[in-house]
Amino acid sequence: MATFAYGRVSTKEQTADNQKMEIEAAGHVVDYWYADTISGKTSASERPEFAALLAQIRNGETLVVAKLDRLGRDAQDVGATVKLLATRKIAVIVLQLGKLDLTSPAGKMMMTMLAAVAEMERDLLVERTQAGLARAKSEGKTLGRPSKTTAEQRADIITKYEEGESVSALARLHEVSRASILGIVKAVQS
Report the percent of the chain where pLDDT is more than 90: 58
Q: Kindly tell me if the per-residue pLDDT of 178 is higher than 80.
A: yes
Asked if residue 164 and residue 86 are part of one domain, the reply reads no
- Please give the biggest Cα pair distance in the chain: 77
| Predicted local confidence at residue 73, as pLDDT | 66
pLDDT in tens, 80-137: 888 899 999 999 999 988 877 888 888 888 878 877 777 787 788 889 999 999 999 9
Asked if residue 20 and residue 99 are part of one domain, the reply reads yes
Is 147 in the active site? no
Report the percent of the chain where pLDDT is more than 70: 99
**Residue 127, in any domain of the structure:** no
End-to-end CA distance of the chain: 67
Kindly name the residue from 10, 45, 166, 177 that is annotated as catalytic.
Answer: 10
**Residue 142, in any domain of the structure:** no
- Tally the domains of the chain: 2
Is the distance from CB of 62 to CB of 33 less than 8 angstroms?
no
Spatial CA neighbour of 85 closest among 65, 66, 102, 100: 102
Q: Kindly tell me if the per-residue pLDDT of 21 is higher than 90.
A: yes
Please tell me the pTM assigned to this model: 0.61
- What residues make up the domain containing 171? 151-189
Q: How far is CA 170 from CA 145, 149, 165, 177, 183, in A?
A: 21, 12, 7, 9, 12
H-assigned helices in the chain: 17-25, 48-56, 75-87, 105-138, 151-162, 167-174, 178-189
Asked if residue 104 and residue 19 are part of one domain, the reply reads yes
Asked if residue 63 and residue 9 are part of one domain, the reply reads yes
Spatial CA neighbour of 45 closest among 16, 19, 74, 3: 74
Distance CA 75, CA 102 (A): 13
Asked if residue 155 and residue 105 are part of one domain, the reply reads no
**Residue 141, in any domain of the structure:** no
What is the average pLDDT score of the chain?
Answer: 89
| Predicted local confidence at residue 69, as pLDDT | 81
